[in-house]
Chains A and B, each alone.
Chain A
Amino acid sequence: MSLFHHLFVPHHTNNQKAKILHSPSLAIIIGVFALFQIVIGHLTARFPLILGYASQIAPAEIVRLTNIERQKQGLPALTLNSQLSSAALKKASDMFAKNYWAHVSPSGTQPWFFISQSGYTYRYAGENLARDFSDPQSVVTAWMNSPTHKENVVNSRYQDIGVAVIDGTLEGRETTLVVQMFGTKLEALAKSTGQTASIAVKAQEPQATPIPTPVPTIAVAAYPEVGAVAMAEPVSKSLVRSSPYEITKFVSYGLLIVIMAVLAVDIVVASRRRLVRWTSKSFAHFIFIGILLIAATTILRGQII
């Protein structure tokens, strides 16, 4: 009990300030946490099945959740299209191969190239990208929270969807990429609107001679941000024991909460005992750490573009 008081409560043994709040203790905590992060990074690289990034994203679930969002808006469900899924898979593979995280590759290849290459002759097309998410609901929620991505998800012009989910190393990090592609076939639109066959012929030109730029006759440019997620290969990393993110999150939150609690006790005890100390301000630390704790909760697993 005396050790507890010494560590966490202002006491005569710790110069009326919890030992854990003393500079040497804080320095030790920082050092140990930094070391802990180095070890986690090392273990993640050496033993990915013991300490790795687990992703439980099923392409079909992405499609299902996307269609739920569309139904909420009174829009028809999208149909899973194997050509779009193939395009999404090619796009994801290209990102890993050329090590980039963008809609357009460093060499200028646009998403529409992969769609055309897969044999999908589109009138409208779009793409949404996501990485580092651990579950499909988080992916779709992130897209719905972003106006430009949401515009793709609930775009009435789209009829088809394709999704690919692939694991790999991107920019030096273990990553799960989710590529969602949306589209409407030119012939489908021609059927519904009675457009002439000449338009379809123009649109099919790129298929004959694929080039890494969209065909000018295709109206994709009007919806360059539209996206769909296609998952060609369901990711299953059930063998992964623990996630470095979850462990870091657990330890970080634990540390922040413990230090906030000690600071709160310090403020109350110092106030009750009317302690006069020549030290930094616990109340200021409490505010700062509290803000940090709130900020930490905003960190989202995953990114979208």
Chain B
Amino acid sequence: MSHYTFEKDFSRHPLHYFILLSFLMVGLWGIFWFSFLPAMQLSILVTMSIFYVVWGIMHHHEHKNLNSKIVFEYLLIAMFAILIFGSLLIRT
């Protein structure tokens, strides 16, 4: 098991964050592109959320500090995102 400060984490795994940011930016572009198709927007957001959880698991697995508590935290953030976005779509 290893622990890293934020700087070390970022400097040792810039590719991880680059992949994360790239995927999310592509997703964001998709959400913009389908601005008049709410179902498609929600599908993209759900895909982004699933990717985020997978990214978190992979990232912490690389760090060898993956545990259920951390997975749960990523799941909660993903659920939070889907809930917020979905609620806004439903209320439009």
A residues adjacent to B (C-beta < 8 A):
23, 26-27, 29-30, 33-34, 37, 40, 132, 142, 146, 244-245, 248-249, 252, 255-256, 267, 270-271, 274-285, 287-289, 291-292, 294-296, 298-304
* Contacts A279-B70, A288-B77, A298-B41 supplied; 18 other A-B pairs, CB < 8 Å: A23-B72, A30-B76, A245-B88, A249-B91, A275-B5, A276-B4, A276-B5, A279-B73, A280-B56, A280-B70, A280-B77, A283-B9, A287-B24, A292-B85, A295-B27, A295-B41, A299-B85, A304-B36
Taken together as a complex, chains A and B put the C-alpha atoms of A278 and B32 apart, in Å, by 36
Task: For residue A269, give the distance in angstroms from its CB to the closest CB of chain B.
Answer: 10
Identify 8 residue pairs between A and B in the complex whose beta-carbon atoms are under 8 Å apart, listed by A's number: A30-B80, A256-B84, A280-B77, A284-B52, A284-B55, A288-B52, A302-B92, A303-B36
Which chain A positions have C-beta within 8 A of B56?
280-281, 284
Which chain B positions have C-beta within 8 A of A245?
88, 91-92
CB-based contact A278/B83 at 8 Å: no
CB-based contact A255/B36 at 8 Å: no
CB-based contact A292/B84 at 8 Å: yes
Task: For residue B15, give the distance in angstroms from its CB to the closest CB of chain A.
Answer: 13
B residues adjacent to A (C-beta < 8 A):
1, 3-7, 9-10, 17, 20-21, 24-25, 27-28, 31-32, 35-36, 38, 41, 45, 48, 52, 55-56, 59-60, 65, 67, 69-70, 72-74, 76-77, 79-81, 83-85, 87-92
Interface residues of chain B: helix, strand, loop or mixed (majority)? helix
Q: Which 6 A-B pairs have the closest CB atoms?
A: A280-B73, A245-B91, A26-B76, A276-B3, A248-B91, A291-B24
Taken together as a complex, chains A and B put the C-alpha atoms of A289 and B41 apart, in Å, by 16
CB-based contact B5/A270 at 8 Å: yes
CB-based contact A288/B81 at 8 Å: yes
Task: For residue A149, give the distance in angstroms from its CB to the closest CB of chain B.
Answer: 10
Interface residues of chain A: helix, strand, loop or mixed (majority)? helix
Closest A residue by C-beta to B24: A291
Closest B residue by C-beta to A288: B52
